Structure 1
């Protein structure tokens, strides 16, 4: 009982840190966002020791932060690690996987690695259309990104 309660507390703390990081990132306060993401990452990896969808989400968000700061290699590493975890944690057609695939495609576009962009964005779009339906806002985001290549 105590372990379950303690685990849930750690999960809530990690989720809160991740959300605070996202809040700061949305406000373009990148230096303020980073420690929150890192604290969430530390809890998921070292305290809970689980490779879950929550860890993948934090890695995806941290990848977005590094990408926004122009640290493309670190962003790529975060996105790729998130994808490996997503592959094990959720179904192949899960929309959360598509977010990371979409982000990785956008990153390759920013890096000028055009050969990798189209297949990734097409994959993200297909997953979102199948999982969410054509009218979902996330499908519009993927479609917009895909049309710009």
Structure 2
């Protein structure tokens, strides 16, 4: 089956010490192939970051917890390295995680994943998230 590679970038600011949810515009269903989460400013105090297929705390009309929508923890796949141009990088170009946004419907698909990030330390920090996905070509 033929497919198309899609890549997109989201820039955002997150305050340290609290969780921030960032909507990431992307195809509503695909296979996540890679990502790079780059911290541009602030001290390198590490961060926790997870991708979700829904922004719901529970699934509509069910008792599913938010963890049912959890795709991956970026730290599970990432090597965090220092670079002279950035503060920290968490990246992996060998991811193979299929997803579908769970907020929409087949007739009204929502084209987002959600990054929940909690930077450690103090002050606000600027980040850039780049994702690469493979989408199937429909006939």
TM-score by length of 2: 0.29
- Name the one with the larger helix percent: 1
Larger RCO of the pair (alpha carbons < 8 Å, separation 6+): 2
TM-score by length of 1: 0.28
